[in-house]
Amino acid sequence: MRFMVIVRATKASESGEMPSEQLLTAMGNYNEELVKAGVLLAMDGLHPSSKGARVRFTGDRREVIDGPFAETRELIAGFWLIQVSLLDEAIEWVKRCPTPFDGPGSSEIEIRRVFENEDFGAEFTPEAREQEDRLRAEIAGRQ
C-alpha cells in the first residue's frame, strides 16, 4: 500500500522561514532510513502558498486565486510518498520523524492512503487500466 505522508504548514513555514541546519541534518538522516528500508518512493518540501495559486472549478468556469492562503492549518509544507504493508506501519515510520518545524507550537503530519487501481472497482474499465499503466510506464521511463 502506498501512503502520502503530508507535513502540515505552520506560520513559520508560510512566512518562508527556512529550517535550521540541525533540522535539515535530522531530516536527511530520517530520509536515509526510509530509503535504506526500501519504503520511500518520493519526497519534497513545498514553497509557501504566497508563491502558489489555486484554481476553483464551478461548472465550466475556472477562477484563479493567487496565494497566500489564509488557513495555514489546511496547507501542506511537504510530503513523503511511502510504500508499506499497513497504515500502522506508516504511523510507526511517521512517529520516528524528527519534529518538522523548529520553535514554539506543534507540528502535524497527516497520513493518507493512495488509491490503487483495484480500489476503483468495475467502473475502472480495462481500457482505463491500460491507459493508466501506459502513463505510469511513460513517467517511470522519464525518471
How far apart are the C-alpha atoms of 106 and 44, rounded to whole Å?
Answer: 20
Q: What is the pTM of this model?
A: 0.88
pLDDT tens-place string over residues 116-143: 988 998 899 999 999 999 998 999 898 7
Q: What digits encode the pLDDT tens for the residues 35-83?
A: 999 999 999 999 999 999 999 999 999 999 999 998 777 899 999 999 9
Number of Cβ atoms within 10 Å of the Cβ of 57: 8
pLDDT at 71: 79
Residues 11/68, Cβ–Cβ less than 8 Å? no
Contacts of 62 (CB under 8 A, 6+ apart): 55, 56
Query: 9: exposed, middle or buried (C-beta count within 10 Å: 0-12, 13-18, 19+)?
Result: buried
Could you tell me the CA-to-CA distances from 93 to 47, 80, 82, 84, 87 in Å, in that order? 24, 11, 9, 10, 10
8 A C-beta contact, residue 94 and residue 28: no
Residue of 107, 104, 55 lying closest to 78 (CA atoms) = 107
Q: Where are the domains of the chain?
A: 2-116
pLDDT at 105: 67
Residue 56 to residues 11, 48, 49, 65: CA-CA distances in angstroms?
A: 24, 19, 15, 7
The topology (CATH level 3) of 2-116 is Alpha-Beta Plaits (3.30.70)
